[in-house]
Copies of this chain bind each other. A is one copy, B any other.
């Protein structure tokens, strides 16, 4: 939260912030409740209205959506979005349960299906429908590790080779160790303001020009397909419905790569790659920084890490840096329009936001 306030170009009085939207799956594995009030108090403005938004791994994207609504309603003109997760101070057993309940319980969790297992099924099915996918999965991991190595806030800052990724021990076949995001601690914060308010504090605001969300059946057996997340498709459709630009105008994307296969699905679900073409697109290098459509320049969930409640917020923070030209060695040249994509559970919910250097 401190950095969100400090990164405002002309400084800001905390008492000026009107509401706080906290995204977290639950402090310390649910060991502390009433989290939004704690966050307001720690921010140093304990009387401020504060609310917790929780949508599994998509909590951050939905908290941003609520904040954007609040400002668009005209009732508030400056609000704070905070995403955080402290995942490592609970036991692995507790963490498994804490995370596991975000998937279907009756038919998946209690039958032993983990999140890696669900995405492993998706990867296997994707390969069955569209052909071999191992190289493309490894390329996602290699690219995101390379990007993470350029991000001083990334959990993993070391590049890996495609051979390392492909030869890694299996976690849930066909997914191996480097196909899975790590367990991370982390936090991110954003100030969301009405345009005229934002311009009081900076000459280079970043505009939110689209917001979309969608849901799907929780259990994968109840879904239409294993090779797409319809929640993502719906979220993108809503976000672009009134947007001032089209998919082809995007300069980069931050997508929810909790597993490498998820990045491939995202490109297709969001409509930037045709069905079955994401592997080829990825292997072409198009999604690297410097490519035609960079994806996850901050390292993504794979290398930056996936502190649950923080992830969706930190995606927007990366966009904020990039669209202001402040992303350093991982800067996407001339980036002016970007998309963030945050998924909950194994695709039961998704939030998509569009950003631009120009207001709508």
How many Å from the CB of A350 to the closest CB on chain B?
9
Is A70 part of the contact surface with B, judged by Cβ < 8 Å? Answer: yes
Scan A196-240; emit 1 where CB is below 8 A from any B CB, else 0: 000000000000000111111110001000000011001100100
Contact in complex: B215, A50 (CB < 8 Å): yes
Chain B residues near A62 (CB, 8 Å)? 51
User: Can you name the residue of chain B whose Cβ is closest to the Cβ of A40?
Assistant: B215
Is A53 part of the contact surface with B, judged by Cβ < 8 Å? Answer: yes
Q: Kindly state the separation between the CA atoms of A49 and B215 in the bound complex, as whole angstroms.
A: 5
User: Can you name the residue of chain B whose Cβ is closest to the Cβ of A235?
Assistant: B49
**Main SS at interface, chain A:** mixed
Q: Kindly state the separation between the CA atoms of A86 and B281 in the bound complex, as whole angstroms.
A: 48
Given contacts A213-B19, A234-B47, contact A34 B69 (CB under 8 A): no
Contact in complex: A218, B73 (CB < 8 Å): no
Chain B residues near A56 (CB, 8 Å)? 33-34
Q: Kindly state the separation between the CA atoms of A53 and B231 in the bound complex, as whole angstroms.
A: 19
How many Å from the CB of A96 to the closest CB on chain B?
12
Contact in complex: A36, B101 (CB < 8 Å): no
Interface set of A (CB-CB < 8 Å, partner B): 19, 30-34, 36-38, 40-41, 46-56, 62, 65-66, 68-70, 72-75, 100-103, 105, 211-218, 222, 230-231, 234-235, 238, 344-345, 348-349, 351
**Known contacts A32-B105, A50-B215; can you find 9 more A-B pairs with CB under 8 A?**
A33-B101, A34-B102, A34-B348, A36-B349, A37-B55, A38-B348, A40-B215, A47-B214, A53-B53
